[in-house]
Structure 1
Amino acid sequence: MAWKWFNRKKNSFNRNLKAVREAGGGVSLPVQDTRAAIEELSKVVKNDPEAVEIYLALGSLYRSQGEIERAIQIRNSLIVRPGLDREFKARAWFELGRDFRRAGFLDRAQKAFDEARSLGHPANCILDETARLAAERGDYEKAAESYGQLDLPLPQAHYLVRLASDHFAEGNTSQANRALRHAIRAYPGAVEAWLEQIVQAYKAGNAGKVADILEDALQSVQPELRFVLFEGLLHAADKAEKAKQSAFGEETEWSRVCKDEPLTKALLPVIEKQEPDVLLLYYGATFLLRIDDIEEARAWLEKALVMQSDFWLARLELFELSRSDQTLTPFYKEQLTFFIDRARRVRRFYCRSCGLKRDQLFFNCPRCRSWHSIAFRTDISE
């Protein structure tokens, strides 16, 4: 009777329950809606302890609110229930694994997923959770293999790149390069794989190879993601400078990197071959500024503004370049320096899916878990 009564509840609650059942990660209900749903479900479960579907949904709601202990208690109460249908027991084990993963108990999560598999829970659901679990444990090879079996080439390529990074750190260069090639075969638009190849060529001091890889990468990655290649290379150059300052003459992994001048001279012709693009012009100017070619950098920035007049970073750089031509009081110079420094710290990247703003590159949005959703804020109001 309780289940029939529950089905007569208002439509808004039904939508909440449906959303909970379909939640696969990253997306959660508004707090007030979730709390209301939890209260309604709790009443129904109290009136009808046999309502297994409601029990499972209630546990998922608790998990979505971070109340992992209560979610785990609900799963365990179902698992030990005598005579529980095999399908429901498998689902309870599966959800328990998700609870454990959310709580950081990764070994327990794996055991729970194994139990769910043995009871016949759908293989693809188990494989997806296994892939996530492997990624969280740092087993990038297994994560990539699992995503490959799921026919999800983008995350497969991403974790192959993570695997390659580990191999490079351990000095296993041949294995690392093999993993990168595998990543690009799996997903030719894997911007992180191309970037890793570029950074490794940069570390080796081979400016020509950096340019060759960049040219191939620009043809393969999505146009809206090409800026990631340049931003990542600049980040590597900054790391190299910091490493040099703190190395005190000792050899480091950054000791043989490309010099700025040959690197810039190799990159600019590659950029000039591309269709006009405001971000490519901006990054070309940035590399020119690294070698103090002020006039040429100014010309590239002005071209960027012709394409997009409200591109705030190009305006900021041009304003900075013109400061030396102005006669300013010491107070005004101090205030101007303060505001320019603050402007440079504006978070330049955002997620096209959820709007999250970040000041560092990301390949998987930390908030909504969208892949390759990063964008550059050319308009500061974005």
Structure 2
Amino acid sequence: MAWKLFSRKKSVGFKKNLKAARDAGGGETLPVQDTRAAIEELSQVVKNDPEAVEIYLALGNLYRSQGEIERAIQIRNSLIVRPGLDRQFKARALFELGRDFRRGGFLDRAEKAFEDARSFGQDPTAIHHEMARLAAERGAFEKAADSYGQLGLPLPQANSLVRLATDHFNEGRDSQGYRALRHAIRAYPGAIEAWLEQIVHAYQAGSLRKVADILKDALNRVEPGLRFVLLEGLVQAMIKAAREHSEGEIGPWANACSDADVAKTVLPVLETQEPDVLLLYYGAVFLLRVEDVEAAKEWLEKALVMEPGFWLARLELFDLSKENQTMTPFFEEQLAFFMGHARKVRRFYCRRCGLKRDQLFFNCPRCRSWHSIAFRTEFSQ
């Protein structure tokens, strides 16, 4: 009976919205306006033809993509208990129910739903993938890494190994932590999170030579568009160490390298790379941490030559130059206000879905894409 539904006259955009609904099954969040339009369209169709199983499944995916987990679960359950439902549709409904439960944080229920879906003939590879994600969300990172490895997915495998390494480090098992990081890089040489973790630990231990060697290798092996993550992560580590020292505490950053030593170590490494606007910008950031203003200006000016629209480099350069300007108290106050707000602009975004964030991420919190982070060199990004 469902096939008759598609022979009826549809309103403009129906096919587009149906495709969007099906695509939402992977946990991606669609643009709100398009998604709400699709929900309204499909809800009306389902109301007119409650036998349309495909539409029910698509509508449930849309509800999940919008975070309306309870409504998505209700739709799956209404299908699962339907008498005479084809095994194929029941398997899909159970599979999507498992995704709904996982999205809602009900991990035990999600596992049960996936096992039931398997028993009804759902694709075992898809089940295996979801089980790997469940293991990662439960903190069973070694199991998750093994599963991703079996699936031939080296990037999430490496990410799970890095998270496993973090657990080892937190529990004082450093040798196991370093081993997990090496395994992560072997699994995926471009694992930016593994390289960054190594750099931060070398910095924390006060080993400048290791910082330089690891950074040099990492810059040559990760995707060029992600190299800024290494430098941003190191800067954030330096900020944490400085905060600990200023508070007079003796904590995990007690042996960290000094800012001056880091600048002397990192800048020569950056100078060996091909000219890159973000490497130049971060070179200036390291110089500013040791108050070498004139050298920082030179690096920022080079960045602006490469990309004149790089707003943050222009902002920093203006801030360094304003002392040479004559301003009225009113103008200076307004300028400080606007610059303060400009510095709060979120610097990072997801290349796939456009999500903007203040902090680094390796897996987009919204669309779940891997290594999609980018630096907003222009406001329009």
Same fold per superposition (TM over 0.5):
yes
Query: Does residue 357 of the first structure (1) align with residue 356 of the second (2)?
Result: yes
1:73 counterpart residue number: 74
Q: Indicate the larger mover: 67-76 or 213-222.
A: 67-76
Pairing 1:237-276 to 2, within 5 Å after superposition: 237-246=238-247, 248-249=248-249, 251-276=250-275
Evaluate the alpha carbon distance shift between residue 329 and residue 82 of structure 1 in structure 2; reply closer, same or farther with a 3 A threshold.
Answer: closer
List alignment gaps of at least 5 residues for structure 2.
none
1:148 counterpart residue number: 149
2:336 counterpart residue number: 337
SS at match of 2:186: helix
1:323 counterpart residue number: 322
Structure 2 letter corresponding to 1:362: F
Structure 2 letter corresponding to 1:378: T
Query: TM-score by structure 1 length?
Result: 0.91
Pairing 1:277-296 to 2, within 5 Å after superposition: 277-296=276-295
1:42, 1:58 within 8 Å by CA — same for their partners in 2? Answer: no
- In 2, Cα distance between the equivalents of 1:99 and 1:315? 45
* CA deviation string 1:235-254 (max 9, x = no partner): 111111122233x34x2111
Evaluate the alpha carbon distance shift between residue 215 and residue 9 of structure 1 in structure 2; reply closer, same or farther with a 3 A threshold.
Answer: same
2:236 counterpart residue number: 235
- In 2, Cα distance between the equivalents of 1:317 and 1:15? 44
2:18, 2:38 within 8 Å by CA — same for their partners in 1? Answer: no
SS at match of 1:218: helix
What is the aligned-residue identity percentage?
66
2:2, 2:53 within 8 Å by CA — same for their partners in 1? Answer: no
Evaluate the alpha carbon distance shift between residue 63 and residue 288 of structure 1 in structure 2; reply closer, same or farther with a 3 A threshold.
Answer: closer
1:26, 1:367 within 8 Å by CA — same for their partners in 2? Answer: yes
- In 2, Cα distance between the equivalents of 1:4 and 1:202? 63
Query: Does residue 63 of the first structure (1) align with residue 64 of the second (2)?
Result: yes
Structure 2 letter corresponding to 1:256: N
Structure 1 residue 210: Cα displacement: 0.5
User: How many residues were matched structurally?
Assistant: 375
Evaluate the alpha carbon distance shift between residue 340 and residue 110 of structure 1 in structure 2; reply closer, same or farther with a 3 A threshold.
Answer: same
- In 2, Cα distance between the equivalents of 1:377 and 1:228? 13
List alignment gaps of at least 5 residues for structure 1.
none
Evaluate the alpha carbon distance shift between residue 66 and residue 341 of structure 1 in structure 2; reply closer, same or farther with a 3 A threshold.
Answer: closer
* CA deviation string 1:190-230 (max 9, x = no partner): 11111110000010011121011000000001111111111
Structure 2 letter corresponding to 1:35: E
Evaluate the alpha carbon distance shift between residue 10 and residue 164 of structure 1 in structure 2; reply closer, same or farther with a 3 A threshold.
Answer: farther
Q: Indicate the larger mover: 324-333 or 288-297.
A: 324-333
- In 2, Cα distance between the equivalents of 1:133 and 1:278? 39
Structure 2 letter corresponding to 1:295: E
Structure 2 letter corresponding to 1:133: L
1:24 counterpart residue number: 26
2:42, 2:55 within 8 Å by CA — same for their partners in 1? Answer: no
2:95 counterpart residue number: 94
Structure 1 letter corresponding to 2:307: Q
SS at match of 2:354: coil
Q: CA RMSD in A?
A: 2.2
